[in-house]
Structure formats: C-alpha cells, structure tokens
Structure 1
C-alpha cells in the first residue's frame, strides 16, 4: 500500500463478512467480522486482508460449510486490489473498492 494522500488506496485490512442483505446492484457490502449479523439461511462469505499481504477467503461450499482458500493481495492503484494464489489454490482476480469506511467495505460486483 502507498503512503497517505488522495491517491492512496483505501485501507482494506481486516476481517470482513458479506452482508448480502445490504448489497446494491453496483456492489457487494462487507461489514467487520466482529459485528453482529442477523441469522441467515445461507452461510456468509468471509474475506480477510492482512497487513502482510496474506488474503484468506472462506466461501460457502456445496454442503454449506465454509471452504477456506489462502492467497496474496496487493493494492493496484487507488481502488484496485489484485488477489493471487501462488500455491495454486485458485485463479487470480481483481477487486474494485467502491468505498470503505470504518464499518463498511463495498466491492464492485
């Protein structure tokens, strides 16, 4: 991540849980993992961006348990994040950060 300033990417570090009931057509909404969530029939996707560049994703599997995948993340400009899986745990992808506040992260769909 780059230093402070207008061109610095938003700080996405932390553990986030998909608050799918808050999604919009433009973006998927994530809230901090330590926030209480209402009960849901489907498991909630969880993502974590660690300061050391480690990326962890826990996504629902076919049996509704959360399947964990680990990779690496790196900021690419002011609103892009590149996620890679050096150990072959998945296909690389990019995320676009639409907004970030203390209690809300919105990623483009």
Structure 2
C-alpha cells in the first residue's frame, strides 16, 4: 500500500513558469493558471497507488499514461505497465506547491 501521508496525493499541473535550474514546480489542477499556448504536463498521485501522467498528445490534447507509484526514502518511484520506471525526487510539497528535482 502507498503512503498518502507524504502529501503528494492529488492532481498537479506543471507550472513551468516557476521552474528553476534544478527543479520543476507543480501546482494543484484547480490553481488559477494564466493562459498558456504551451500544454501543461500533469501528474496525478492517487491514494490507491495509481499514477496518471498527462503527456502532450496529438493536437496538444493531453494523453493519459497510467502506472503505479509508491513512496521511497529517496522520493517516489513510478512504474509503467508497458515497461520502464521513473524515479521522482520530491524536494518539497507544501502550501500548494509540489517541487520535483529535474
């Protein structure tokens, strides 16, 4: 079972305007983002361990890719069923800002 108490459970959209040289910044999907021509990447961490990544698809429509996630001491591991895994290093998650190392 996952550990939802680490605070990342929810839907997050990439706030690329706030990125730094070392980190990507995500805000809750309900955040009042300014309009953008660039599609926003999305991450959803569900309490049941399901992970959904919204990737840019045809005509800039989001394409959901699902997997499983679990917390680790060094961050979060995401495993995709079609093969592959991604390790995300969560730098912080507080005050409506999720920061992930690049």
Tell me the distance in 2 between the aligned counterparts of 1:55 and 1:66. Answer: 15
Tell me the distance in 1 between the aligned counterparts of 2:40 and 2:85. Answer: 21
List runs of 5+ in structure 1 lacking aligned partners: 5-9
Tell me the distance in 1 between the aligned counterparts of 2:14 and 2:32. Answer: 12
Task: Specify which of 79, 87, 97 is matched with residue 84 of structure 1.
Answer: 79
For the aligned residue pairs, the C-alpha RMSD in angstroms reads 1.8
SS across alignment from 2:17: helix
2:22 is aligned to 26
List runs of 5+ in structure 2 lacking aligned partners: none
Rg larger for? 1
SS across alignment from 1:24: coil
Q: How many residues align?
A: 101
The worse-fitting range, judged by mean Cα deviation, of 38-47 and 61-70 is 61-70
User: Does residue 103 of the first structure (1) align with residue 96 of the second (2)?
Assistant: yes
- TM-score normalised to the size of structure 1? 0.84
The worse-fitting range, judged by mean Cα deviation, of 45-54 and 55-64 is 55-64
1:7 is aligned to none
